[in-house]
């Protein structure tokens, strides 16, 4: 089967576009952050901890929470995770749940955190991908922002620096 010359050109254009977007990525986090005018109710919020014990945050209120969905193969996850850990040190009132989106493998997840220098974040799992369906996620990393009342007030799709001063300003409105 012979591939047409125009098809090859289109493939090269798409490839160059994807590479240039990755290399020349804008540090402007606002393109990745969506804050809702009206927070969305969360009916159920359950997942597993590192030991595959149930974690139920459905009725948890009082703190801002960030559910960060990641995977060991995800390069943007690898780059943003240290800033997420730093956020927890700067603002301990913000509760972070780093949820691995792979088949639960405690050792692999712990080794990943050690490799990238993340030592104080707890690891969680969503083994049946129920949260993926619930939040209609489309890629990794994705972070769900939950207000003190347990409602989703925003989300982050893609990589950001969680210590960015403009992002912190947004969070402080909800603290």
% of the chain at pLDDT higher than 90: 79
Task: Using the predicted structure, report yes or no on whether residue 15 has a pLDDT greater than 70.
Answer: no
* Residue boundaries of the structural domains of the chain: 28-172
Max CA pair span of the chain: 62
Q: Give the count of beta carbons closer than 10 Å to the beta carbon of residue 53.
A: 7
pLDDT band at 31 (very low <50, low <70, confident <90, very high): confident
- Any idea which architecture 28-172 has in CATH? 3-Layer(aba) Sandwich (3.40)
Task: Using the predicted structure, report yes or no on whether residue 26 has a pLDDT greater than 70.
Answer: no
């Amino acid at each position: 089967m012979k591939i047409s010359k125009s098809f090859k050109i289109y493939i090269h254009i798409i490839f160059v576009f994807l590479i240039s977007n990755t290399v020349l990525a804008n540090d402007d986090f606002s393109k990745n952050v969506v804050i809702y005018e009206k927070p969305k109710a969360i009916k159920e919020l359950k997942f597993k901890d590192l030991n595959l014990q149930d974690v139920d945050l459905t009725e948890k209120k009082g703190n801002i929470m960030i559910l960060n969905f990641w995977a060991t193969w995800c390069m943007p996850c690898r780059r943003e995770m240290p800033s997420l850990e730093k956020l927890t040190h700067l603002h301990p009132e913000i509760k972070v749940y780093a949820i691995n989106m792979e088949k639960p493998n405690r050792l692999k997840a712990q080794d990943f955190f050690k490799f990238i220098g993340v030592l104080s974040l707890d690891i969680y799992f969503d083994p049946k991908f129920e949260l993926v369906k619930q939040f209609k996620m489309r890629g990794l990393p994705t972070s769900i922002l939950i207000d003190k009342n347990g409602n989703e007030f925003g989300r982050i799709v893609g990589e950001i620096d969680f210590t960015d001063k403009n992002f912190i300003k947004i969070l402080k409105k909800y603290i």
